[in-house]
Amino acid sequence: MSLPARISIVTLGVSDLKRSTEFYQALGWQLAKASMPDTIVWFRTADSVLGLFPTGELAADAGVPDDGEPTFRGVTLAVNLGSRAEVDAAMAAALAVGADLVKAPTVAEWGGYSGYFADPDGHLWELCHNPGFELTEEGRLDLPV
pLDDT in tens, 56-93: 899 899 998 887 655 677 889 898 999 999 999 999 99
Distance CA 109, CA 34 (A): 16
Chain CA centroid to CA 100, Å: 17
The pLDDT assigned to 139 comes to: 81
**Would you say the pTM of this structure is higher than 0.95?**
no
Distance CA 76, CA 62 (A): 9
Strands 9-14 and 49-54: parallel
Helix (H) or strand (E) holding 22: helix 17-26
Domains and CATH numbers, the chain: 9-133 (3.10.180.10)
